[in-house]
Amino acid sequence: MRNILIVDDEPYVCQALRRVLETSGNSVLTAASAEEGLQRLREHTADLAIVDIVMPGLDGVGLIAQIRSEFPNVRVIAMSGGGNFGLSEYLPETIITHAYLEAARKAGAQGTLFKPFETQQLRDLIEQVAGPMPAEAL
């Protein structure tokens, strides 16, 4: 079993990811902001954090830098669909989305995902970033 923290200010994203990851045998925590995510990491053990970039308050890039410094063993996946410009739909192919994810990578994220993504893409990336699921959960 992996312990995974999901940080996204959109509740339905947290819920959907939680459902997918728990079905795969992971233990999932969620947080609606970077600050809440850091608090969760201080209170609980996590192997992996899946972090949105555009969030009110501390953004995802700032959160990733903080995780790298405070919890160096926690692996990080950044996800973004652009946004922040009053646009409701995801803009995966835009300069800004590429820029956000590149900034996340520079801050220390080991993997990046453009929203929206397929469940299998997420599973593959988690395996790539965090390694195969520990044997006891299989």
Partner 1 sequence: MDIQTEAGTVATEITTEVWPGWTPRRAARIRLMLIDDHLLIREGIEALLSLERDLEVVGTASSIPDGIELARALGPDLVISDLTFPGCNGSTAVRTLCQACPETRVLVLSVHDSLECIRAAFAAGAVGYLRKDASREEMLYAVRRAVAGGRSTCLAVGDIVVQDWLERGGLREPAANACLSAEDRRALRLIALGVPTWRIAEEFGRGVKTVEKYRASLMRRLSLKNTAAVTRFAVDMHLLSHSEVDRLLAADAVSGSTAREA
Which residues of the chain form contacts with partner 1 (CB under 8 A)?
Answer: 53-54, 59, 61, 82, 84-87, 91, 93-96, 98-103, 105-106
Minimum separation from the CB atom of position 26 to partner 1 (A):
29
Nearest to 94 by CA among 111, 114, 117, 109: 114
Residue among 12 and 85 whose Cβ is closer to partner 1: 85
CB-wise, 28 or 61, nearer to partner 1? 61
Assign 105 to helix, strand or coil. helix
26: left (phi over 0), alpha (psi -120 to 50) or beta: beta
CB of 116 to partner 1, least distance (A): 16
Long-range contacts of 93-101 (CB under 8 A, 24+ apart): 100/53, 100/54, 100/60, 100/61, 101/53
Separation between Cα atoms, residue 37 and residue 52, nearest integer Å: 11
Q: Which is nearer to partner 1, 28 or 54 (CB)?
A: 54
If the CB atoms of residues 47 and 52 are measured against partner 1, the closer one turns out to be 52
Distance from C-alpha of 111 to C-alpha of 104, rounded to nearest angstrom: 9
Closest CA to 49 of 22, 20, 28: 28
Nearer to partner 1, 31 or 103 (CB): 103
Shortest Cβ 120–partner 1 spacing (Å): 25
Find the shortest distance in angstroms from Cβ 110 to partner 1. Answer: 15
CB of 77 to partner 1, least distance (A): 17
